[in-house]
Amino acid sequence: MPSRSLRVAVIGAGAAGLVAARELRREGHAPVVFERTDGVGGTWVYEDADADASASTDPLRSRRSNLYASLRTNLPRECMGFLDFPFAAAAAGPDDDPRRFPGHAEVLRYLREFARRFDLLGLVRFQTEVVRVSREASESWRVRYSKKEAGSEKREPEEEVFDAVVVCNGHYYQTRVADIAGLEAWPGKQLHSNSYRVPEPFHGQAVVLIGCSVSGMDISRDIAGVAKEVHVVDRSAPAATYQRLPGDHTNLWIHSMVDRAEQDGSVVFQDGSRVKADVIIHCTGYKYSFPFLGDDSTISVDDNRVGPLYKHVFPPRVAPQLSFIGLPLRVIPFALFELQSNWVAGVLSGRIELPSEEEMTREVMAFYSDLDACGWPRRYTHVLGDFEFKYEEWLAGQCRREKIEDWRKEMYAAAVKDNMDHHGSYRDMWDDGYRDHLLVQANRDFALYFP
Ligand code: FAD
């Protein structure tokens, strides 16, 4: 049984903040969610390219929204949803998108429905940005926030003290761009993938696209339909790489890393080949950023390692009063957020015990040494990949909850593999019938929630 009920500030009302608020309240705490925009859903709120007019005119700037119009999920909806609130097509109404890999608007609809179903909207203070979180002598946290007044940009900073803070501010905001020799004098246009919305502006152009993660591959195919040619750069490819990508597009090429950009508009690759490009699109990801935290948080970000953090969640010196939900990458995000949130809520109430500060610190240091020993770059500290399910099993064990369902793991593994093998078509291949057994198992479990 919970023994402590705390007043907890949750920063952000994306998927992580919403499920954190739900788990905290279920555990008997009183969460207050701060959200700087006027709605829930975070990443999944689509905005047109020029909607973010208040931002600077720098084409590589960080933007609030980073979805492109054609974006569909990269996971089958059944495995993407929260554990006890299925993201099932059966739940979709006539105006919704019933596809197995639906478009982004369907995910936002699902998150809004989650907030309504669990009565979370009343916990959220919209248009309220947390600008500073500082530690009090009593081990509580002073949260300074500024509120956007209706119809005006004026923000009045206010402060409140909370027993604990859960950081759910997302990590697809602060952009990272490729560092390429000669770019300052290169005359073409540059943008980060977070500004990309639709292919039309690239009609007839030669585009170099740096990065071949999910977004990079999606955007390259989107643009190849209208562009003269699209050259995708895979920085981990051997230097001699220069070949046409298989699929419907005859103007889509893959290269090794860019060596330099030149004043005449050329982009030169490591194998010496060159193209005259009109545009470079940086699909190079994002940096973790916590502008509201100071040294008293005990946290720093070093080459994209947020640390020290015990199990990617608690900074040992200030645990459990400060925690982070949603840092791991290459995971099934919503399920992981839910387990982390359940763990944080249980630790705060006293239902679940944390090791001592010394033990947690020792474990974090041992984890970093292991990463170093196997040559895992620091910037991938939070990339779980193959370790995801072990980590989630550990969390479920701490929370005394059921482990993640086997069908969910298998669906995830199949989607990752399909994505690599058949990037252009994997989303529409799923329904060919050979994975029906996974859907049968998922739907059987979902029947518990949709009787
Ligand atoms: P966010 O959604 O970023 O939410 C953070 C919230 O915090 C925002 O609402 C923000 O306004 C608020 N905030 C930030 N700072 C402050 C502050 N100082 N004060 C107050 N509020 C603040 N995941 C999948 O499962 N499937 C997919 O197919 C998939 N596709 C993706 C495609 C793209 C292009 C991207 C970028 C991500 C994708 N993801 C996908 C991952 C996705 O980001 C996660 O699923 C999840 O939505 C992240 O939720 P979050 O709450 O951690 O962060």
* Encoded amino acid at 443, one letter: N
* Ligand 1 atom 12: residue of nearest CA: 12
Q: Which atom of ligand 1 is nearest to the CA of 67?
A: 34
Specify the pLDDT at position 63: 66
For residue 354, report the distance from its CA to the centre of ligand 1, in Å: 28
Q: Which atom of ligand 1 is nearest to the CA of 34?
A: 20
Output the CA torsion sign for 243, 246, 248, 252: negative
Which stretch of 71-75, 96-100, 407-411 has the lowest confidence by average pLDDT?
96-100
Q: Which atom of ligand 1 is nearest to the CA of 15?
A: 51
- Residues in contact with ligand 1 by the CB-under-6-Å rule are 11-17, 34-37, 42-44, 66-67, 73-75, 80, 129-130, 168-170, 172, 215, 292, 326, 333-334
Specify the pLDDT at position 385: 83
Count CB neighbours of 183 within 10 A: 16
Q: How confident is the model at residue 57 (pLDDT cuts 50, 70, 90)?
A: low
For residue 328, report the distance from its CA to the centre of ligand 1, in Å: 12
Specify the pLDDT at position 247: 82
Q: What is the mean pLDDT of residues 149-160?
A: 76
Q: Percentage of residues in the chain with pLDDT exceeding 90?
A: 78
Count CB neighbours of 94 within 10 A: 5
Exposed, middle or buried, 295 (CB in 10 Å: 0-12/13-18/19+)? exposed
Q: What is the mean pLDDT of residues 428-432?
A: 77
Q: What is the mean pLDDT of residues 348-364?
A: 97
Specify whether the CB–CB gap between 232 and 251 falls below 8 A: no
Q: How confident is the model at residue 451 (pLDDT cuts 50, 70, 90)?
A: low
For residue 215, report the distance from its CA to the centre of ligand 1, in Å: 15
Specify whether the CB–CB gap between 30 and 162 falls below 8 A: no
* Ligand 1, pocket-test mutation among 32, 54, 130, 172, most atoms within 8 A of CB: 172
Q: What is the mean pLDDT of residues 311-337?
A: 97
Instruction: Please determine, for the modelled complex, whether the ipTM score is greater than 0.90.
Output: yes
For residue 74, report the distance from its CA to the centre of ligand 1, in Å: 15
Instruction: Please give the backbone phi and psi of residue 33, each rounded to the nearest 5 degrees, phi first.
Output: -100, 125
The reported pTM is 0.94
Beta-bridged to residue 268, according to DSSP, are 260, 274
For residue 21, report the distance from its CA to the centre of ligand 1, in Å: 15
pLDDT tens digit sequence for 5-53: 999 999 999 999 999 999 999 999 999 999 999 999 999 999 887 655 4
For residue 389, report the distance from its CA to the centre of ligand 1, in Å: 21
Q: Percentage of residues in the chain with pLDDT exceeding 70?
A: 94
Q: Name which residue leads in pLDDT, 445 or 54.
A: 445
Specify the pLDDT at position 26: 97
Which stretch of 144-153, 318-327, 346-355 has the lowest confidence by average pLDDT?
144-153
Specify whether the CB–CB gap between 354 and 319 falls below 8 A: yes
Q: What is the mean pLDDT of residues 283-310?
A: 96
Q: How confident is the model at residue 238 (pLDDT cuts 50, 70, 90)?
A: confident
Specify the pLDDT at position 54: 46
Which stretch of 244-248, 312-316, 341-345 has the lowest confidence by average pLDDT?
244-248
Which stretch of 83-87, 115-119, 446-450 has the lowest confidence by average pLDDT?
446-450
Q: Which atom of ligand 1 is nearest to the CA of 286?
A: 36
For residue 436, report the distance from its CA to the centre of ligand 1, in Å: 30
Radius of gyration of the chain (CA): 23
* Ligand 1, pocket-test mutation among 43, 62, 292, most atoms within 8 A of CB: 43
